[in-house]
Structure 1
Amino acid sequence: MSLNALIDRLDLHGHIDSFNGFLSRHKPLFIEGDQERHFNYIEALDKLSFNAPPKVDSFHIIKAHLKKQGIMRFEQIFEIIKVVRYFRSLKNNGYEGIIGEWLKKIEIPERFGEEVESYFDLEGNFNEELDEELYGLGQRIKAIKDDINASMRRLLYHSKLSSYLVDTQIHYVNNEECLLVRGGFNHVLKGQVVGRTGAGFFYVVPDALSKNREQIRVVETMREVKFYEYAKRFSKVLSELLPFISFIDKEFDRFDHYQARVTFARAKSLSIIKAERSREIRLVGFEHPALHKPKPVNVDFSKSVLMVTGVNAGGKTMLLKAILSAAVMAKYLIPMKVNKHKSVIGNFKRFEAVIDDPQNVKNDISTFAGRMQQFAQLFSQNEALVGVDEIELGTDSDEAAALFNVILDDLIAKGQKIVVTTHHKRLAALMADRDDVELMAAIYDEEHRQPTYEFLQGIIGKSYAFETALRYGISNAVVERAKKVYGENHEKLNLLIERGSELERALKAKNALLDEKLAEVEAEERRLKEQREQLALNLEAERAKLKASYAASIAIAKEAARLTDAKAIHKKMNEANIALPKQEPIRKNERYDFKVGDNVKYRSAKGTIISLKEKEAMIEVEGMRLRVRRDELRPSGKPPKKRPKTEVHHKIERRGSLRLDIHGLRAEEAEEKMDKFLSDALIDGWNEVVIYHGIGTGKLSYAVKRFLKAHPKVKSFEDAPQNMGGFGAKVVRL
C-alpha cells in the first residue's frame, strides 16, 4: 500500500500536513540512511537552541542549469546564498557533540563568499554600490524621475489646466505617472490616455514627459546588460562550485528533516520515538492526532494476532488505526503523543490497512469478493503489519469463522503481524486458546448504557447490539421482539461473556490492589532489612570497642603482675579498672499512669503533657512541642518554668525584580540564581518575569528549560519576543 493511501486510511493527513508546515521545503517523509543514526542526531538537536531555517526552493532546477553552463537568475542564486548563510550561522553558534562535529565538516569555500555572496544584502537585493557604473546608472534614473515629478507638479498648478483637473495628485497606472482630468482636456494638454474611471474621468500621461521616459528606458536597458554580465559571472563561479552546492543541498535537506521534527514536537508537546528492531508493539498513553479529546491508548501487542471484540461504536476501529498509526510514525520518526519511556514500537517493512468497504459500482464487485482480493494480496508479502477492520464483513458468520481462522494461520506463518476487529464470537472462540493470539474487548458501561472507549485485554467482548439500538432511538418494543427472535441460548451465551468480562475486570482490580499491598510489604521488608543491617553494624562496632577496652585493661594488669612494689601494683590495677567499660545500671521498667496536664521530666528537661497515646506522648518543653515515648517520661512535682512570650513583627521588603540576567553562569549557579529570583518574584506578587540566558552553546538554555519544567510554581514559559531577547530569553508565567 502506498504511503499516501495508508495516511488517508489512518486519518493522519491533518497531522502530516501540520508537520510539513515546519519543513523549510517540501520533501518525502522518509529520511534516507540509518534511522538509528538519524534519531541520535534528532535527540542531540533537541537539546540545543536554534533558529528555524528560511523557506528555500528546491535546488533540482538550479543544479540542472549549472550542469548545462546556464545563466542563473539572481533569485535562483539567492536561494543558494540563503542555505549557505544559514549553515554559517549554525557554525557560529559553536555547538558541541555530534551536531558540532557534523557542522565542522561543512566547509564553505571562501570563493563563494567573496565572488558571489558579498554582492547580495540580507533581503536578496543586489548591492549596486559595489559597482561604480551600476551605482551611477541608478543615480541617473533617480534624477530623471525627480525631473518627471517636478514637471508633473508644474502641470498640476498650471492655470489653463486647473479647471480640467479632478484632483492635484500624481497617479500611477501601469507604473507610469499620469494626471486625472475631465473631458475636453485635449484643448490645453497633449498626452496619451492610459485609463478611464467609472465617473467618466481620464488618466492621461503628458507628451511633455515622453522624452524623460525614453531616457529611463535607455538607462534601464544599460542596467539590465550590466546585471546580465554579473549573472553570467556568478553562474560561472557556481558551475565550478557545483560539487559543493550538491553537497550543501543534501546536508540542508538532512538538517531540515531533523529541525522540522524537533520544532514540531516542541510546538505541539509531542514525543519522538524510533522503531525498535523487534516485532513488539507496546503503547502507553498514545493519542491519535485525528481525535479532539482522545482517551489514551494502552495496549500490549507482543503476539502475532490481536483480536478486538466488543460493543458497537466502542472505539475498535480507532484502536486499530491507533496501533498502525503509531507504527507508521515511529518508522518515519514523526512526533506523536505517547509515553516514549514506557512504549516500544517494532519496525515493519510494509503496512496494510484493510478498513474500507471494497464494494463499488464502478468495479462491479461485492463486499466479500473485494475482501478476498485484498487478502489475496497479503499472501504475496512477508513481515508486514496488517490491520483488518470487521473481518467478517459481507458473508455468513459461521462459514467466515472457519475461513478466516485458516487464512490468519497462513498469514501468521508468513511472518505477518495482524490487528483484527470482529463481531464474530465464533471466530474469536476458535482462536482464543492459541498462544500467538491476544484477545481484547471494548468495555461497555452498563449503568450509563454507553461505551467507555476503554479496552480490557484477555477477554471476548459482547457486541451490545440491542443496547446500541436503544441508545440510537430504536423503540424498546422492537428491541424486545428482536431478543425473543434471537433466542434464549444466544442471550445466555452473551450473559456468560459479559459475566466473564465482569469477573476479569474484578480480578484485574483485585490484582492491582494486591500489587499495591505487595509493594508496601516489599518496602517495609527493605526498611526492616536495612534496619537489621544497621543494628548488626552497630553491634559489631560495640564488640570491637569492648574488645579494645578489655585488651587495654589486660595489658595494664599484666604489667602490674611483673612489678614487685605493692604500691605500684595497686596503682596499675586501678588504671586497669578505669580502662574497663562501665556497666550502666539496669533500671526497672516502671509504668506511670500519666494524664493530660501532668508535669513530667524528659531527660534533663521539664514539661507538661499535651496529649497521650498508648506508647507515645506529646509534651510542651519551653515553648516547643515534642513527641516522645511514654517510658522515657518521669513524674515531676514542680511545674516547668514559663518562658516569657515573645511577639515577632516582620515586614517583608520587596526584593524581587521582573528580570534576571544569567549570562555566562554555569548550570548549577544559574539554577541557584533562578530559584531565589522566582521565590522573590512570588513573594512580591509578580505573575510574569523574564530570564535572560543568551544563545551561546545551548547548554545554559537547556538547563533553564529543565529547571522551569520542574519548578512547581511555573505555569508556563516560552521564548521571549524578538525585541525582548528572542531565543536568548524566556518569558515565565507564575
Structure 2
Amino acid sequence: MDLAKSLDLTQFLDEFNSFLAREKPLFMEGDINLHYKFIKELENYSFNPPPKVKNLDTQIVHLKKQGILGLDEIFEFVKIIRYFLYLKKLRFEGMVKEWIDQIEIPQSIKDIEDYFDKNGKIKDDVDERLQSLARALKDNKDSIRQKLRSLLNSSKLQNYLVDRQIHYLSGEEALLVRGGFNHVLKASIVGRSSSGFFYVVPEVLRELKDKEAGILSRMEEIFYEYSKNISSIFLKNIKFLAFVNRAFDRFDHYQARIAFAKAKNLDMIVPKNDDKIILKDFVHPAISNPKPVSVDFSKKVLIITGVNAGGKTMLLKSILSAAFLAKYLIPFKLDARKSHIGRFKEIIPIIEDPQNVKNDISTFAGRMLAFSKLFSKSNVLVGVDEIELGTDSDEAASLFKVILEELMKRDIKIAVTTHHKRLAALMASHDEVELVAALYDEKKSEPTYTFLQGIIGKSYAFETAKRYGIPINIVKRAIEEYGEDQAKLSELIERGSELERELRARQKELESEHEQVRRLRSLLEDERHSLFMEIKSEKERLQKSFTEAIEEAKKAIKAKETKEAHKFLNIAHKKAKSVKIKEKEPIEPLKAGDSVRYRKNLGTIISIKGKEAFIECDGMRLRVPLNELKRARVPQKKKKESVVKVSRPKKLGMTLDLHGLRAEEAIEKTDKFISDALIAGFDEVLIYHGIGSGKLARAIREFLKNHPKVKSYTDAPPHMGGHGATIVEL
C-alpha cells in the first residue's frame, strides 16, 4: 500500500498481518462502532487462535460452476468448520454468544468434517476399501524394506556400499553405492550425492514398486470419488459456505487485533464523527527509542515550524499515521483515554519530492498538481512536508496562504511543515490555524524532538550546520551575511518560545496542584458523608427505641388506669423528645466579607484571587495565602428576651369529672383542665362526662375537635368508662 509506505508503516502492518489466519484487506465492512464493541467484548475471553487458512473465494466460484474440489481444497473449508465448532463449545456471553449462535452448521457438513484427520488426510476407518488398501500398502512397504536389508547384507555388494542406510529420494527407497555397482547389482539410478556417489533403486524391487503404484492408484480413485461426493454436498450448501467463509474473515479481523494489541502492549481507538485530532503520548511504530508525541490538531490547519532535523516530518507522519490506523481499527501506541481522532474519507500525504525526469515534471509543478486535485475533494486529511519546496519561499508563502484559506472552506484538514516563517506569520492570526514549533536545546546544541503549541519556531540553520561538521569560520561569515536585524528577530522568536515553555511548565505545575486539592476535597467529602450517614443511622435507631417505649407505655395505660402508668408514659415521652443528635453542617468555602483569623490577628476578607486573599486587619490591607486563614466566630450581642413565667397549678390530675355540669360550665372547666395538663407536660388525659342524653358528650367533643393543642380523642376502654369517658391525646 502506497499510503503505508509513505507513512513508514509497512513493517508495522506486516507484523500485524502475521497475526491473521489468512491475508486480507485491512478494511472491515459494516459499522466500525459495532466492530469496536465486539472487539472490546471479545478481548475478555481466552480462546485459541484460528488455523492458517487459504483464500477460498476461487473455490466457491468453482463450486458454483459445479466443479470438483481436491481434498486439499476441501480440507481448507473443514478447518473453518472445525474452528467454529470449537468456538461454539466456549462459554461466550452477550453479543459474541449471539453472533456465534447464529452460525448453524448443517449436519451434512459436520459429517464431512469427521472424514479428515488433523493433517487433512481421509481417515482409513471411513471406508473399508481404504482400510484394506492401507494394510496392503503397509505389507508391500515391509516387503521392500526386507529386500533392501537382504541386499545390504549381500557379500557381493559390500565393496560398493557407501553406507548401510536406506535412503528416501523422490518418495522411493534407495541405496547409496559407488561406481561399478552394475557388475554385481541391476538397478536404476535415481540421483547422485554431493560426493559423486549414486542413489539406486534395485531391479528386484521393481515388481513390488509396481504393486505399490497399483495400490496408490486404487486409493486415488477412492479419494476422487470422495472429492466428487463432497463437492456435490458443498454445492447444495454453497450459501452456507460463502457465509461461513465471510464470518471466518470477520472473526479473524477481531482476534488478530486483540492478539496484536496484547503482544505489543498497544491501544485501540475508534474514530469519532468529526475532524478533530488530539494525540496524547503517540509513538510512531517506525521509530526506535522514540519520545511520545502530544499534539492538539482541532483546527483546520496545523503549521509545524522550528529546528532542522527536529522531528517536524515525523510529527506530520505521526498525525497521518494515527488517523490511518484508527480508520482501520489497528492497535497502536498512545494514551487512548486522552486522545481523540476524527473520521476521514481519505488521507493524502504530500511528502515525497514529485520531481520526475521521465514525466518531465519539476518539484514545484508536481506540488501544484497534487494541490490542484484537492479542490475536488472533501472530508480529507492532508499532510504536506516542506510546503514551499521547489520555489521562492516568499512568493510561495503568499500563494499557499490563499490556497490553504480556500481549502479550509471545502472541509479539508491540512497539516504542513515549513522551514520558513513567513507563511506561519501570515496565517498566525487566523482562527482556524494552529502553530506548533519543534524545540531546540541551546545548552546541548541539539534538537529535543519535542514540540510546543502556539508559537513559531526558529530553524537553527547555523547551529545545525555546525553540528554536522561545517567549519566554524564559514558559519560565522554566513551569520554576518544573514544580518544583525534578522538575527535579532530570530532571538525574539526564540525568547517568545522560551517564555511560552516557562508558562506551559508553570501551568502544568498548577494543574497538578489543583488535581491534588481536588482529590483531598473529594476524600473529605466522602469522609463527611460517611460520618453523616453513621450519625443519621444511630439517631434513627434511638428514635425507634424510644417510640417503641412510648407505644408500650400507652398500652399499659389503656390496660390499667393508674397514675403511676401515666407518670412513666410522660417520662418516656420527654426522653424521646430529648434525643436529638445535631448533624454536622458542611464546611462552606471562605468568601468576601467573612471574618477570619490570620495567625493571631482578626480580620475581614476583602477579595479572593486564586490561592491568595486580600484581608483587612486593624486598618491594614494584607495579601495572604488562602490556606492559612481560619474562619473566626465573632461574638454577637445578646438581645434581651421577654420572659413569661407561668405558674404550675398546685393541684394537678390526669382526669376530669364533669358529671352534673351544664355544657357551658363543662367546656370552661375542660379548657382550664387542658391548659393545666399542657403546662404539666401530660400528653394524654381522661375526661368523664357520662352517657345520659349525650348532649354533654357532644358539646365536649365539639370543643376538643376545634382545640389547637388536641391531637386526637376517642372513647375510653370499657374498664375506664367506655362511652361515658373520652381519652384525649395532647
User: After TM superposition, is the score higher than 0.5?
Assistant: yes
Q: Hey, what does 2:603 align to over in structure 1?
A: none
**Which of these residues, 456, 462, 465, is aligned with residue 458 of structure 2?**
462
Judged with a 3 Å threshold, the aligned counterparts in structure 2 of structure 1 residues 419 and 135 are, in CA distance, closer, same or farther, namely same
**3-state SS of 2:55 partner:** coil
Q: Hey, what does 1:350 align to over in structure 2?
A: 346
Q: Does 1:263 align with 2:256?
A: no
Judged with a 3 Å threshold, the aligned counterparts in structure 2 of structure 1 residues 205 and 494 are, in CA distance, closer, same or farther, namely closer
Judged with a 3 Å threshold, the aligned counterparts in structure 2 of structure 1 residues 539 and 53 are, in CA distance, closer, same or farther, namely closer
**Which of these residues, 104, 129, 146, is aligned with residue 125 of structure 2?**
129
Q: Distance in 2 between matches of 1:132 and 1:255?
A: 38
**Which of these residues, 50, 64, 82, is aligned with residue 85 of structure 1?**
82
Which shifted more, 354-363 or 168-177?
A: 168-177
One-letter code of the match for 1:221?
S
Q: Hey, what does 2:248 align to over in structure 1?
A: 252
Judged with a 3 Å threshold, the aligned counterparts in structure 2 of structure 1 residues 527 and 342 are, in CA distance, closer, same or farther, namely closer
Q: Distance in 2 between matches of 1:154 and 1:65?
A: 51
Q: Distance in 2 between matches of 1:33 and 1:531?
A: 49
Pairing 1:119-198 to 2, within 5 Å after superposition = 119-196=115-192
Q: Distance in 2 between matches of 1:368 and 1:187?
A: 81
**Which of these residues, 385, 388, 392, is aligned with residue 392 of structure 1?**
388
Q: Hey, what does 1:408 align to over in structure 2?
A: 404
One-letter code of the match for 1:145?
K
Counting matched residue pairs gives 565
**Which of these residues, 55, 69, 89, is aligned with residue 72 of structure 1?**
69
Q: Distance in 1 between matches of 2:200 and 2:572?
A: 130
Q: Distance in 1 between matches of 2:79 and 2:303?
A: 53
Q: Distance in 2 between matches of 1:249 and 1:212?
A: 44
Q: Hey, what does 1:223 align to over in structure 2?
A: 219
Q: Does 1:299 align with 2:325?
A: no
Judged with a 3 Å threshold, the aligned counterparts in structure 2 of structure 1 residues 579 and 310 are, in CA distance, closer, same or farther, namely closer
Which shifted more, 10-19 or 133-142?
A: 133-142
By how many angstroms is 1:365 displaced? 1.9
Q: Which runs of 5+ in 2 are unaligned?
A: 550-563, 580-730
Q: Distance in 1 between matches of 2:245 and 2:263?
A: 26
By how many angstroms is 1:147 displaced? 2.2
One-letter code of the match for 1:279?
D
Which shifted more, 257-266 or 533-542?
A: 533-542
Pairing 1:539-618 to 2, within 5 Å after superposition = none
Q: Distance in 2 between matches of 1:401 and 1:452?
A: 27
**Which of these residues, 35, 52, 57, is aligned with residue 60 of structure 1?**
57
Higher relative contact order (CA 8 A, sep 6+): 1
Which shifted more, 16-25 or 536-545?
A: 536-545
Q: Distance in 2 between matches of 1:363 and 1:455?
A: 38
Q: Distance in 2 between matches of 1:135 and 1:251?
A: 36
Q: Distance in 2 between matches of 1:358 and 1:202?
A: 60
Q: Hey, what does 1:377 align to over in structure 2?
A: 373
Q: Hey, what does 1:37 align to over in structure 2?
A: 34
Q: Hey, what does 2:436 align to over in structure 1?
A: 440
Q: Distance in 1 between matches of 2:58 and 2:573?
A: 103
One-letter code of the match for 2:503?
L
**Which of these residues, 271, 286, 301, is aligned with residue 275 of structure 1?**
271
Q: Hey, what does 2:316 align to over in structure 1?
A: 320
Q: Deviations over 1:129-173 (max 9, x none)?
A: 221122112222222222222233333333444444444443444
Q: Distance in 1 between matches of 2:565 and 2:75?
A: 107
Q: Distance in 2 between matches of 1:229 and 1:572?
A: 103
**Which of these residues, 511, 514, 517, is aligned with residue 510 of structure 2?**
514
Q: Deviations over 1:78-109 (max 9, x none)?
A: 00000000011011012111111100000111
**Which of these residues, 234, 239, 254, is aligned with residue 238 of structure 1?**
234
Q: Distance in 1 between matches of 2:502 and 2:143?
A: 94
RMSD of the TM alignment (CA)? 3.4
**3-state SS of 1:119 partner:** coil
Q: Deviations over 1:573-593 (max 9, x none)?
A: 9999999989xxxxxxxxxxx
Give the TM-score of the pair, scaled to structure 1: 0.71
One-letter code of the match for 2:58?
I
Q: Distance in 1 between matches of 2:217 and 2:382?
A: 65
Q: Hey, what does 1:480 align to over in structure 2?
A: 476
By how many angstroms is 1:283 displaced? 0.7
Q: Distance in 1 between matches of 2:500 and 2:350?
A: 30
Give the TM-score of the pair, scaled to structure 2: 0.71
Judged with a 3 Å threshold, the aligned counterparts in structure 2 of structure 1 residues 405 and 214 are, in CA distance, closer, same or farther, namely same
Q: Hey, what does 2:108 align to over in structure 1?
A: 111
Q: Distance in 2 between matches of 1:571 and 1:167?
A: 119
Q: Distance in 1 between matches of 2:116 and 2:522?
A: 71
One-letter code of the match for 2:84?
F
Q: Which runs of 5+ in 1 are unaligned?
A: 553-566, 583-734
Q: Distance in 2 between matches of 1:82 and 1:24?
A: 11
Q: Distance in 1 between matches of 2:140 and 2:108?
A: 38
By how many angstroms is 1:199 displaced? 6.0
Judged with a 3 Å threshold, the aligned counterparts in structure 2 of structure 1 residues 285 and 150 are, in CA distance, closer, same or farther, namely same
Q: Distance in 2 between matches of 1:165 and 1:486?
A: 87
Q: Hey, what does 1:7 align to over in structure 2?
A: 4
Q: Does 1:99 align with 2:96?
A: yes
Q: Hey, what does 2:13 align to over in structure 1?
A: 16
Q: Distance in 2 between matches of 1:103 and 1:407?
A: 52
Judged with a 3 Å threshold, the aligned counterparts in structure 2 of structure 1 residues 111 and 579 are, in CA distance, closer, same or farther, namely closer
Q: Does 1:496 align with 2:482?
A: no
Q: Hey, what does 2:606 align to over in structure 1?
A: none
**3-state SS of 1:285 partner:** strand
**Identity rate of aligned residues, in percent?**
53
Q: Deviations over 1:667-703 (max 9, x none)?
A: xxxxxxxxxxxxxxxxxxxxxxxxxxxxxxxxxxxxx
Q: Hey, what does 2:329 align to over in structure 1?
A: 333
**3-state SS of 1:27 partner:** coil
By how many angstroms is 1:197 displaced? 5.1
Judged with a 3 Å threshold, the aligned counterparts in structure 2 of structure 1 residues 196 and 371 are, in CA distance, closer, same or farther, namely closer
Judged with a 3 Å threshold, the aligned counterparts in structure 2 of structure 1 residues 473 and 227 are, in CA distance, closer, same or farther, namely same
Q: Distance in 2 between matches of 1:261 and 1:573?
A: 77
**3-state SS of 1:371 partner:** helix
**3-state SS of 2:28 partner:** coil
Judged with a 3 Å threshold, the aligned counterparts in structure 2 of structure 1 residues 578 and 105 are, in CA distance, closer, same or farther, namely closer
By how many angstroms is 1:522 displaced? 5.4
